[in-house]
A and B are shown apart, each in its own frame.
Chain A
């Protein structure tokens, strides 16, 4: 029986060792160059971002005390105590806030619906496997890209000037952004669809619209709905801040509470928003998983 581990001839060993150190050194250099670039970017960002660590650390207690402060009541019999001691006083504006949250949900719903319908039709025109014309593909794709790159709030600011204050500019801003982002997800789904049914339809002489309607739409519809539900939840979050620029929803009251230092209102409204989003998150998740399992069952 052999007792020692057999060793390679010295020459071969030296060669392998050389290759190993070479490979490690190359990797080290790469990591170092990457690290240097990141450090350079940090330096640039620190200057342009006006990072002021002295101010940060000398004022950091203002942050923690702010978080603590919003959970202290300012009025009522329990004034000065924690908000949890008097929930009725804490949520004194519940009727108005609930209506505004409802408004936010409806803004998100309309925005998702209108944007989703636009995205639905755009998706078939932007799918490489259905459209041969490079011009149509290019134009539709760039339009979708424009719609999703400009932030919702930026659209909302312009629409508020054009349509006046209220939920309408919020709905339109969300609709445009939704059309862009859902449009991209949708055309990717269409591009992954099975084309055999489409070929079958086309071979019988069916028109393009008829082929798409009967060969493609049944395949992709549940995926579309699943993405739209996901987008709806995102739009409720976005809708909650539309009020910052006067485009309706709960945001208006929230920014007023923050700016005018109505501390306990800030926490109450934030909790309502977070709770609403969580509930919708769970609800849409249930529907989505059912849609996906149905998809898998076929």
Chain B
């Protein structure tokens, strides 16, 4: 490390020519790889430059924007909720958000279970059924929750119920896909055993597949809870309940301290939901592991 005893690295860096001359096979230039790397980098930057031009992004706007953003952040501190009345309003909206996320996720999972089985190759052997169920689930999943919320508002009106239904619809597509994959990956031996003792196809699903698959399904559902809590925090911007409407309103009113408070509330809620659902998930998976060991 000291000047008196230079490290190998420093010694090499001091005279790189001599070592490259001694080991030419290690230091030869790998032109093929270099061309590939350079090509990738140049293409990526090229597309980025084209994007900046096409999207009409001006650097002056970037700079003034960041300056204004800095101003907002400085007036955000300290976060506050104003009056106690406001605090109750926000907390109520947060509970609404949690309710939307929970009920939406649960309903989605319940409705997705039968479709998961239909879309699984090892339950329904019909190729056409399998194909159309999967594509249908994909289409449902591809439409964003906010769009589903706008559609459901036409049906049940403004409010959190539309949010519940939006999360339910979108995640129904997601869970259908995830569940069918979990069912396909399930151990087939138990199912074969049920059939070999003379069980009906329904028995096969109930006693051969379900006990192995159910913990995986519940685990996926709990995992999705966290992501849905985040979705539920913004679903209010289209009028489907939850904290999102307040968030949007406070931005519009330039009440940056309130915006900061609401952001903080979102972060805490998501963190709490994440911790709780992870705990429950491990409890359920842990139980299954313990059972498998017996």
Interface positions of A (Cβ within 8 A of B)? 38, 41-42, 44-52, 55-56, 59-60, 62-63, 66, 102-103, 106-107, 109-110, 113, 146, 149-151, 153-154, 157-159, 161-164, 166-169, 171, 201, 204-207, 210, 237, 240-241, 244-245, 248, 254-255, 258-259, 270, 273-274, 277-278
Name A's interface SS: helix
A161 to B156, CA, bound (A): 31
Given contacts A42-B103, A151-B230, A171-B55, contact A278 B142 (CB under 8 A): yes
Query: Quick one: CB contact mask for B65-106 with A, threshold 8 Å, 1 for yes?
Result: 110110010000000000000000000100110111011001
| CB-contact partner of B61 in A41, A66, A150, A164, under 8 A | A164
Chain B residues near A44: list those with CB within 8 A. Answer: 99
Interface positions of B (Cβ within 8 A of A)? 1, 6-10, 12, 44, 47-48, 50-52, 54-57, 61-62, 65-66, 68-69, 72, 92, 95-96, 98-100, 102-103, 106, 138-139, 142-144, 146-147, 150-152, 154-157, 159-161, 163-165, 230-231, 233-234, 237-238, 241, 247-248, 251, 259, 263, 266-267, 270-271
Closest 8 CB pairs of A and B: A205-B7, A163-B65, A48-B99, A45-B99, A205-B9, A106-B51, A45-B103, A204-B8
Whether the Cβ atoms of B234 and A154 lie closer than 8 Å is: yes
Whether the Cβ atoms of A157 and B143 lie closer than 8 Å is: no
Chain A residues near B8: list those with CB within 8 A. Answer: 204-205
Can you give 28 contacting A-B residue pairs, CB < 8 Å? Answer: A45-B164, A49-B160, A55-B156, A55-B157, A60-B155, A62-B155, A63-B154, A66-B154, A66-B155, A109-B48, A110-B51, A110-B52, A146-B267, A151-B233, A151-B234, A153-B234, A154-B263, A158-B259, A161-B68, A162-B68, A162-B69, A164-B61, A166-B55, A169-B65, A240-B144, A244-B237, A274-B139, A274-B143
A153 to B240, CA, bound (A): 15
Chain B's closest residue to A245 (CB) is B237
Whether the Cβ atoms of A163 and B61 lie closer than 8 Å is: yes
Nearest Cβ on chain B to A168's Cβ, whole angstroms: 5
Whether the Cβ atoms of A151 and B231 lie closer than 8 Å is: yes
| CB-contact partner of A49 in B9, B72, B163, under 8 A | B163
Chain A residues near B99: list those with CB within 8 A. Answer: 44-49
